Structure 1
Amino acid sequence: MKAGSGIPLWVVALLAALCLAVLAWTTFGFVVPFKHETGQAVLDTYFAGYDKSAVFHMQKLLDENETATRLLRAMYFGPELVFPALLTALLFLAFLKLGPVSSWFGRSVHPLVGKAIYLLPFIYGIADYGENISSLIAFGSGGPSTFATQLLPWMTRLKFASLAICFIVIARLAIARWLSPRED
């Protein structure tokens, strides 16, 4: 039995399909209508990051546009409640499906390195939920929160950085597995 084969591929495929469905719901149900309503993208989609001035600009925009505010809040209380958990589970199962860390690198690795690699999907999930909570606080009706306004750009950067690292590690390992000689 090969390492990581205890997780059925259909489970990983099902999680991937659910992630795509929720991502489509988010995109076509909220992100596109928000852009149509305001002419500006939701801050969650800024892959390169943004600064506090973008947060202040978004606060001003939302103060002037009640429809955009309702769209953003509905997104955070709808698909954004489940998407980070689904994607975190998918990434973690993909890591488990690829087998033990020592088999990834073809040599023994320090146990802390292995544990740190398996934590990457959870860092993404925590950062994504942190970004969502920070957005709700920063753009809430109770007035702008200085802490949430300062935290929001950093949570977005951490979310995309950890997600990119996860994808890079998974791609590297999948390619290494594909190129490695088969054991029959």
Structure 2
Amino acid sequence: MKAGSGIPLWIVALLAALCLAVLAWTTFGFVVPFKHETGQAVLDTYFAGYDESAVFHMQKLLDENETATRLLRAMYFGPELIFPALLTALLFLAFLKLGPDGAWFGRSAHPLVGKAVYLLPFIYGIADYGENISSLMAFGKGASASLATQLLPWMTRLKFASLAICFIVAARLAVMRWLSSREP
């Protein structure tokens, strides 16, 4: 994996535009109407996390409001099916564009460390899909709803933590790339 690795910038820009379009679809097509219908935000948007009591509250709310249940399910079977994959691809390509795998931390690193950093976007993607699956199970009527209720807050935390780490690494790589281009 070589920095820049021949990936045209327009592909990265196209992925970014698609991510923004799907995020807008999710926000204005499902999150805002859900909040309007229930007065409460979708748990996926709780950046600071939440606990099992918030999941129980959401289960009760969804049991009492069929429209909110349909909105949430449509969100998971619509834009939330493709958004994690798009964002994972965007982050991975950004990492490929910005940094050589041997210089992630401003000095030569062990080759495995450099390659392991490329896994960060995939950790985010797996966590986001895990959160979506846990939500569908927790807010469903299946036997595994109890396990999913316990798992859901952790999946959300893992999703946002891995996403934050990806953004920090990408920002650091961009700054290092910019600084190295300014050196005489």
TM-score bracket, normalised by the shorter chain, equals over 0.9
Q: Which amino acid is 1:100 matched to?
A: P
- Superposed CA deviations along residues 133-182 of structure 1, whole A, max 9, x for unmatched, are 00000001336711100000000000000000000000011011112244
Deviation beyond 6 Å, 4+ runs, structure 1 = none
* Larger deviation, residues 127-136 vs 170-179: 170-179
Paired residue for 1:105?
A: 105
Using the alignment, how far apart are the partners of 1:162 and 1:34 within structure 2?
Answer: 26
CA 1:141–1:15 in structure 2 vs 1: closer, same or farther (change >3 Å)? Answer: same
For structure 1, the residue ranges without an aligned partner over 5 or more in a row are none
**Match in the other structure for 2:27:** 27
2:43 counterpart residue number: 43
Please give the secondary structure, in 1, of the residue aligned with 2:103. Answer: helix
Structure 2 alignment gaps of length 5 or more:
none
TM-score, normalized by length of structure 1? 0.94
Q: What secondary structure does 2:119 align onto?
A: helix
Aligned to 1:55, the other structure's residue is in SS state helix
Structure 1 residue 81, shift from structure 2 partner: 0.2
CA distance in 1, matches of 2:116, 2:147: 28
For the aligned residue pairs, the C-alpha RMSD in angstroms reads 1.6
Contact 1:19 1:87 in 2 (8 A): yes
* Structure-2 residue corresponding to 1:166: 166
- What SS does the aligned partner of 2:151 have? helix
Could you say what secondary structure the match of 2:102 adopts?
Answer: helix
- Would you say the 8 A contact 2:19–2:86 is kept in 1? yes
Q: Quote the residue 1:180 is aligned against.
A: 180
Matched length: 183
Q: What is the CA–CA distance in structure 2 between the aligned matches of 1:82 and 1:49, rounded to whole Å?
A: 23
Call closer, same or farther: CA 1:120–1:97 in 2, change over 3 Å: same
Counterpart AA for 1:18 = L
